[in-house]
Amino acid sequence: MEPKLSPQDISVKSSVKLASKKKAKWKSVLTYAAFVGPAILFFTIVQLVPFFMGLYYSFTSWNGVSSTAEWVGFANYLKIFTNDKDFLNSFLFTTKFMLAAVVISNLIGFSLALLLNAALKSKNILRTVYFIPNVIGGLLLGFIWQFIFVKGFAAVGAATDIAFFKLPWLGDETTAFWGIVIVFAWQISGYMMVIYIAALQGVDPSLLEAAKIDGASSWMMLRKIIIPLILPAFTICFFLTISMAFKIFDLNLSLTGGGPFNSTQSVAINIYNEAFQYNRYGLGTAKSFIFFLIVAVFTTLQVVLTKRKEVQA
């Protein structure tokens, strides 16, 4: 038989257990803090603090230089919605560009993924080649393609007399728009291809073999089996391309600079000019917050809709 403990011994034993639990809990908290703490600290300094500072300045008429900022309330936001046609035009251009770029980039990326998921001897080399444009910086890529559009196409057009190469690619509103779309799709399609390839490799081959035995055509297998199974990859790729296309800046800046006559000016360039060229920092930050909300709404709707399709599939 175990000796009967006195109330004092029971109290001491309970205190020791409680202290041990508290010590283990604090050890666990400190362990998590050691790993997560630095990331939270840097995220707060780099993201949250500038975000709330920008929110404050959007209600002022600060020029970005002076030590004082005059509080103007919602005047900046009212001016944007009532008397700023340039911002509206840049938003319409960016939306049109986003729609074209998302469709073309994902179509090319998915097509390349289907091609390079097959048993080709050179598929690894081709994957690298198609992904390389994504590694090149947007400014550098823009200047390279600016040379191609202005000098390269002109030389090919003069030599072959093909009308396509004689077009004023960066000098006309329509061709400049499609020029930016082409370069953006060329840059980002390889990245989308990698995501689609990863999804395709997760498809069970036995399902495709069973469908072949049952007489399903390649198009039917693609539409009824492959696409429904990799819908999560479409969700990711659509989200990435929508956000990237909306936020296009460096590529647009180096290719056309927003020209001709601001016809290809993206929202990001409009905000940059407002804040840093015209020294209307308060108005620029107000535009950036409106833009932030618009992008958040677009991407959220896209994720919700595509996630719903995943569930249905």
Q: What is the CATH number of the domain that holds 267?
A: 1.10.3720.10
Residue 123 has pLDDT above 90, yes or no: no
The segment with the largest mean pLDDT, out of 39-43, 182-186, 303-307, is: 182-186
Q: Between 20 and 291, where is the model more confident? A: 291
State whether 14 and 80 are in the same domain: no
Query: Do 208 and 293 reside in the same domain of the chain?
Result: yes
- The answer on 145 and 175 residing in a single domain is yes
Distance, CA of 130 to CA of 117 (rounded, Å): 13
The pTM is what? 0.84
- Label residue 245 by pLDDT band (50, 70, 90): very high
For the residues 70-92, what does the mean pLDDT come to? 91
User: Does one domain contain both 253 and 304?
Assistant: yes
**What pLDDT score was predicted for residue 121?**
79
Among candidate residues 148, 167, 103, 164, the one with its CA nearest the CA of residue 255: 148
Per the structure, how many domains does the chain have? Answer: 2
Residue % of the chain over a pLDDT of 70: 93
For 132-255, where are the E strands, in sequence order? none
Residue 62 included in any domain = no
Q: Is the domain of 140 the same as that of 267? A: yes
> Does residue 285 have a pLDDT over 90?
yes
Task: Indicate whether 148 and 273 sit together in one domain.
Answer: yes
In a domain, 64, yes or no: no
Whether residue 178 is contained in a domain is answered as yes
Q: Is the pLDDT of residue 278 over 80?
A: yes
Q: pLDDT-derived band of residue 100, with 50, 70 and 90 as boundaries?
A: very high
Shared-domain flag, residues 126 and 213: yes
pLDDT of 265 strictly over 80: yes
Same structural domain, 170 and 291: yes
The reply to whether 247 falls in a domain is: yes
Residue 259 is predicted with a pLDDT of 84
Residues 52 and 82 in one domain: no
Same domain, 82 and 135: yes
Q: Same domain for 190 and 132?
A: yes
Per-residue CA distances from 219 to 228, 233, 264, 270 (Å): 13, 19, 38, 44
**Mean pLDDT across 14-24:** 67
Q: Is residue 166 part of a domain?
A: yes
Average pLDDT over residues 221-242: 90
Task: Give me the pLDDT at residue 104, please.
Answer: 95
Asked if the model's pLDDT at residue 170 lies above 70, the reply is yes
Domain that holds residue 52: 1-57
Query: No. of H helices and E strands in the chain?
Result: 16, 0
Q: What is the DSSP letter of 71?
A: B
* pLDDT of 101 over the 90 cut: yes
Sign of the dihedral defined by the CA atoms of residues 106, 108, 112, 114, in that order: positive
- For the stretch 239-274, what's the b/e string if a residue is b when 16 or more beta carbons lie within 10 angstroms of its beta carbon? bbbbebbbebebbbbbbbebeeebbbbbbbbbbbbb
Lowest mean pLDDT among 28-37, 99-108, 147-156, 159-168: 28-37
In the structure encoding, which two tokens stand for residue 69, read together? 């900022």
Residue 13 within any structural domain of the chain: yes
Rounded Cα–Cα distance for residues 240 and 251 (Å): 16
Q: Do 53 and 79 belong to one domain?
A: no
Residue 224 lies in a domain: yes
Is residue 3 one of the residues assigned to a domain?
yes
Looking at residue 1, what is its pLDDT? 47
